[in-house]
């Protein structure tokens, strides 16, 4: 399943979401054009063994803005484009950037603890974007998402609830991480970072979810209150 767009309008222009996309693309293109692609990823990618030893802590931040290839950045930025605007809308710009970076840092730490001896640089915004997905599915589980679904080698376009589309994605991450862990193998995808970022996003957005539920309940109760004269 691949999301194409959601039916979930925002009240204001998601400036920070756009800015994050521009910055990520600019860094990716800049590294390619200057011929420093591998050097940048090696230097600023997050190496679990170093970070857990208290070295190069800044890479928890810098690794979020690096990508390993065109498909890598394309998929990440597409998901951010579709789902990031609503989270920025509900949090406001200042809180949204803190949320985004916080989820990304937690995702990197979860990955580091899952493979503490690794010196392979981990790069990508997927941990932070997984946090956005976690927040989205908690706040807007029934928002309709136009999704491309491959069925018997034919692509079908269907509208499905966000909880189904994002839930399917999350289950795939859990299954993939579990299979690799059971086999004692490693992969080129940081599945534990995705899981950690997703759960961090749900946890970080939880106070907002509680506040919105209370507000909706108060409006509902107010609508049912009337006076007989």
Active site residues: 126, 194
- Work out the number of other CB atoms within 10 angstroms of the CB of residue 114: 19
Q: Are 142 and 86 in contact (CB under 8 A)?
A: no
* DSSP of 57-108: TTHHHHGGG--SSHHHHHHHHHHHHHHHHHHHHHH-HHHHHHHHHHHHHHHH
Quote the distance between the C-alpha of residue 163 and its chain's center: 15
Alpha carbon distance 101, 60 (integer Å): 9
């Amino acid at each position: 399943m691949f999301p194409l767009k959601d039916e979930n309008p925002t009240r204001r222009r998601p400036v920070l979401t756009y800015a994050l996309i521009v910055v990520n693309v600019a860094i990716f293109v800049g590294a390619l054009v200057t011929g420093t692609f591998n050097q940048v990823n090696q230097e600023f990618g997050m190496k679990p063994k170093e970070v857990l030893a208290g070295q190069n802590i800044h890479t928890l931040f810098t690794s979020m803005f690096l990508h390993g290839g065109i498909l890598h950045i394309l998929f990440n930025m597409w998901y951010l484009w579709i789902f990031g605007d609503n989270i920025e809308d509900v949090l406001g710009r200042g809180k949204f950037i803190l949320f985004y970076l916080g989820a990304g840092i937690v995702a990197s730490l979860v990955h580091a603890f899952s493979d503490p001896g690794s010196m392979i640089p981990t790069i990508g915004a997927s941990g932070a974007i997984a946090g956005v997905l976690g927040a989205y599915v908690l706040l807007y589980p029934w928002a309709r998402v136009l999704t491309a679904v491959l069925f018997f080698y034919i692509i079908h376009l269907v509208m499905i609830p966000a909880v189904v589309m994002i839930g399917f994605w999350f289950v795939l991450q859990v299954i993939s991480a579990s299979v690799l862990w059971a086999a004692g193998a490693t992969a080129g995808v940081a599945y534990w970072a995705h899981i950690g970022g997703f759960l961090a996003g749900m946890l970080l957005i939880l106070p907002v979810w509680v506040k919105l539920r209370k507000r909706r309940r108060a409006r509902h109760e107010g609508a049912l209150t009337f006076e007989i004269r």
